[in-house]
Chains A and B, each alone.
Chain A
């Protein structure tokens, strides 16, 4: 598994992937492509990024890629992708696309939104 770097890193942090493999229902070479839209380094944005990273580490270790986009710098991207709520997390892959808005503090909702509930259920069991 390659380490992917996000296009923009306003938070100055890198997303990490790990070689450790988790069981997933999906194909093994599936990469989860996630995009987080923020508007400047607000507390909400930082919280969202940290929450996301935590969940991904838990659930998708080594199989994800987070891209953080600051629409303050690229407002055109907000228009193109119909972003209005901040922060917005977009699951670009696997399809279909899914959107989660908010600071991702409610892990359960994030799992539902990303369709990762099966994992969490398994994990809890």
Chain B
């Protein structure tokens, strides 16, 4: 605290850190130091615990002893109540770190005669503060005095005096008060305590409760103005500012198998990204849980731990059902690699679910987390809350590089690409399972709706659950549309028969062609032999003619010789051209 003051160059209001997870972030350092803070809320919203944690943490972590003035519970009750949160009040009281004081009056024992004041209470508080050197004081719930003591007017004046007195003493005070009808407190204490007002709310929407905290007012300081969900569990009070988790996680390139080889193939051959968020959605009975179980089994086979949150089936039932399709989860449970956590979603509020989940995940350190199914959280109109919760869970898992696997049940009437909780934008890989109803038969189809960062198949596969596991088959896509199941089988048989017929036809045609070719070739042979015969005849005639011509020329030459004429040259050339013509014919 002191460090903070020194470091800060501007003069900011000194603050008393609460050490309550998340609250100091919202208030920028804690409650106003040396001033009263009003914490109001309905019954059972955690006012006492808030105040007690402020006190105990102050005593343990900041060496600021505290005084707890309880108007409702006795010292013993208080000690017992907070022991469940791991606070050892007895020891703190013994070490003079904490002073517990129960102030209580039975109304029916009291008679009033004339004016009175609360000096007795002042003296007791003063005594308590002096005894331990307290820096922090809690008055829980001072308003109950109004039901115990007569004369509200006197009480009002006395309380006003008390708050001023405490402020003057410089102790950081928490005053708790019940929420009134339309006002922050029943008795209008907010008029007197105006430095800081924190409102706790415990809302039940559709049978599940959500706790919320809001800083209504913080004089002299900026503060978060939203309603922040908070939790009370065995570690005490924690406020979860939604903004405290950012989008700055690094992402892995490692791929992990889905457990179904053909599904891996559909996801560019390698499966999901490690640390990604996978959603399987589909109508009832489409095999969402089976795909989840297969994935879990595969993770266990790799020797990784898996945490399975089941919200609808008991672990036993789940293991039994999965065995029927050849997925044996039992050995992994025995080995301690697989852990089930079965709760009804309605069992606690969403915030409690979130923290229990986060706590379990932190302790078990799984590499795979399954939530089956996420829409079980949705009751009525709490979509936004469920989405916020899942968002925070996804952020948490991503930071831890844990692969998240969600299933979502769609009702048959709605659009399949919708989830009840509208978390599609959070999902990295979305597998959609759907019914394909053809020929009086219902079959399952699977396709990858989206898969960020990888090339994925755009085809529908028929998805079969057999007693030896999950099988993915190509669906029949033909002129008759997409066919699955027996329709696909019968269509395939029909296609096969047709194919066979076609093949026969081709063979037949080939044979007939062959025959035609043979006939043609025979004819060619015939014609050729005819032609050959004619040719040889013709050549023979030509030869005779040639010989005759030669003879004539020879004869003429002889005659010319004998006559001593000069016509021989002319005759010779004309004979030569005739011979050329004959050669060309040949």
* A interface list, Cβ under 8 A from B: 37, 39, 42, 44, 47-48, 51, 71-72, 75-76, 78-79, 82-88, 97-110, 112-113
Contact = CB atoms under 8 A, between A and B. Distances in A.
A84 to B, nearest CB: 4
A88 B120 contact: yes
Contacts of B149: 85, 101
A98 B111 contact: yes
Interface of B: 101, 103-105, 109-124, 126-127, 145, 149-150
Contact of B120 (A37, A76, A103): A37
Given A82-B105, A85-B149, A102 B115 contact: yes
Given A75-B127, A84-B124, A112 B114 contact: no
Contact of B101 (A42, A79, A99, A109): A79
A106 B101 contact: no
The 8 closest A-B pairs by CB, nearest first: A113-B111, A105-B114, A109-B113, A102-B114, A75-B127, A84-B121, A103-B114, A86-B119
A97 B116 contact: no
B118 A84 contact: yes
B113 A102 contact: yes
Nearest to B127: A75
Contacts of B105: 82, 84-85, 99
A79 B112 contact: no
Nearest to B106: A99
Given A75-B127, A79-B101, A101-B149, A86 B120 contact: yes
A100 B101 CA distance: 22
Contacts of A108: 113
Given A75-B127, A104-B114, A98 B120 contact: no
Given A39-B123, A75-B127, A84-B103, A44 B116 contact: yes
B103 A85 contact: no
A86 B124 contact: no
Contacts of B124: 71, 75, 78-79, 83-84
6 contacts: A78-B120, A84-B120, A84-B145, A101-B111, A102-B116, A109-B113
A103 B116 contact: yes
B123 A99 contact: no
A76 B112 CA distance: 24
Contact of B118 (A37, A85, A100, A113): A85
Nearest to A48: B114
Contacts of B109: 97-99
Contacts of B101: 79
Given A84-B103, A85-B149, A102 B112 contact: yes
Given A75-B123, A99-B105, A113 B117 contact: no
B11 to A, nearest CB: 38
A85 B114 CA distance: 12
Contacts of A42: 119
Most central of A82, A85, A107 by chain B CB within 10 Å: A85
